[in-house]
Structure 1
């Protein structure tokens, strides 16, 4: 697995856009030194990547940027979430620690051991998690300075059937799940997403995955930062678990582009 992939990229949008499309889980890339700390053999690791990767979401976000009238900014993770998961809390606040899937995973989607007993995540937190978090926070600050508002739209996917690691996998699994935060998700943003994705068979709220990503610097503190998580059920646009995309991908990109423009207008108002 390559080690020359950028850890993350900020792809510029229009100067007047407040929107950042955040794509944290689309990559399968794992640096060789990190791979050596994963106990799965190559075949098992490829299967795990099929299940854990939000395949093609980077391409959906790129398509949305192309469709949007006002081009959003895009922050894209270049590394697999098996390196670090930038959306987890890095401490005891993270409920997924119970499944061995905090900021650095020690268990797989099927609850198999991923890293050796006694593994210490501190080095990966310092080397990978903290620089990523800092860079996203700086991207948000730049939008706040430029236009006075920022809207983070988190682009994810999830499997049609619940995987063993899911803590809340017994709830509804709609074609598009909208993750919200009581502080950072205004009702009009969620309403705009419902309208944008109405043609895909319906949206749900906070099931099977809840919440949305806001940098810790702004989380629960700055209402100028709005956020929404868009979780797309994978059968809507791809072959599961890790196969090619189908025609649904382009339709989703167009719908997400519409949400980008609606979110930008709402923030401006």
Structure 2
């Protein structure tokens, strides 16, 4: 398969910055070869992209990088998560596989058919998932070698109201949810995030989404790699679903920049 656009970009920051802003779900682009395996018509696919895309999060990260005193590095997925979801496991370890939303989705946010269940996911995993994982692993290695530590900050968003695919949608949905990992999220990183986002409204912990993204090579092994997931409730900065950004976006970008500087 030949993608219609670059699969991802690793955008340079300051030489001494340990921070990588990871933006995995902001794009809507789907190469034609991948689109052929999706059973939704164009209208239905557009609606699904409205719901599943973390719209404008790449812009939030870009603005935060511009505002930060020490420019962070950015790893940005340029293809939709409907191609592959780089933050899932490509095997049975993935909890979301139970609802057809593992590394290669077969169901939509409303649990409707996205792809046929008998579609072989391996070509998509080989073409898109593994190169992404290797590149992110190499990005972390490079920052470790250069600076001696890495802080991966995942930049996500989530809808105001839970969608049917959510396995833990019954919990609190604060303006900013901070996802943590017991090994990779030290108390000082969490405290810095709470302080940075204090002016944007209440911050919650691991609800409605929990966890962080760390390459498997380093996961649970390398204490010099710390990680935090920042999940922003969409009504705080955009029109839902899939609408334009609003006045809240600059405020959230400033808060993210403050976090970057606090951990840099």
Does residue 55 of structure 2 align to residue 35 of structure 1?
A: no
Q: d(CA) in 1 for partners of 2:206 and 2:148? A: 28
Does residue 175 of structure 2 align to residue 172 of structure 1?
A: no
Q: How far apart are residue 79 of structure 1 and its match?
A: 0.2
The one-character-per-residue Cα deviations of 1:132-184 (angstroms, maximum 9, x if unpaired) are 00000000000000000000000000000000000000000000000000010
Q: d(CA) in 2 for partners of 1:117 and 1:168? A: 24
Q: How far apart are residue 3 of structure 1 and its match?
A: 4.4
Q: Which runs of 4+ in 1 moved over 3 A?
A: none
Does residue 109 of structure 2 align to residue 105 of structure 1?
A: no
TM-score by length of 1: 0.97
Match of 1:246 in 2: 246
CA RMSD of aligned residues (A): 0.9
Does residue 156 of structure 2 align to residue 156 of structure 1?
A: yes
The answer on whether the counterparts of 2:200 and 2:251 sit within 8 Å (CA) in structure 1 is: no
Q: d(CA) in 2 for partners of 1:67 and 1:120? A: 44
Q: How far apart are residue 112 of structure 1 and its match?
A: 0.3
Look up the SS of the partner of 1:193 in the other structure: helix
Q: d(CA) in 1 for partners of 2:116 and 2:105? A: 11
Look up the SS of the partner of 1:81 in the other structure: coil
Match of 2:50 in 1: 50
The one-character-per-residue Cα deviations of 1:230-256 (angstroms, maximum 9, x if unpaired) are 000000000001000001101110110
**Mean Cα displacement is larger for which, 164-173 or 3-12?**
3-12
**Is there any run of 5+ residues in structure 1 with no aligned partner, and where?**
265-269
The one-character-per-residue Cα deviations of 1:34-58 (angstroms, maximum 9, x if unpaired) are 0000000000000000000000000
Q: What is the number of residues matched between the two proteins?
A: 263
Match of 1:267 in 2: none
Q: d(CA) in 2 for partners of 1:3 and 1:138? A: 22
Match of 2:63 in 1: 63
Match of 1:122 in 2: 122
Q: d(CA) in 1 for partners of 2:78 and 2:112? A: 25
Q: d(CA) in 2 for partners of 1:106 and 1:117? A: 6
TM-score by length of 2: 0.98
Match of 1:229 in 2: 229
1:211-226 alignment runs, 5 A limit: 211-226=211-226
The answer on whether the counterparts of 2:20 and 2:74 sit within 8 Å (CA) in structure 1 is: yes
Q: How far apart are residue 117 of structure 1 and its match?
A: 3.1
Match of 2:21 in 1: 21
Q: How far apart are residue 89 of structure 1 and its match?
A: 1.1
Q: d(CA) in 1 for partners of 2:235 and 2:100? A: 27
Match of 1:139 in 2: 139
Q: d(CA) in 2 for partners of 1:150 and 1:259? A: 14
Q: d(CA) in 1 for partners of 2:91 and 2:37? A: 21
**Is there any run of 5+ residues in structure 2 with no aligned partner, and where?**
none
Q: How far apart are residue 186 of structure 1 and its match?
A: 0.3
Look up the SS of the partner of 2:216 in the other structure: coil
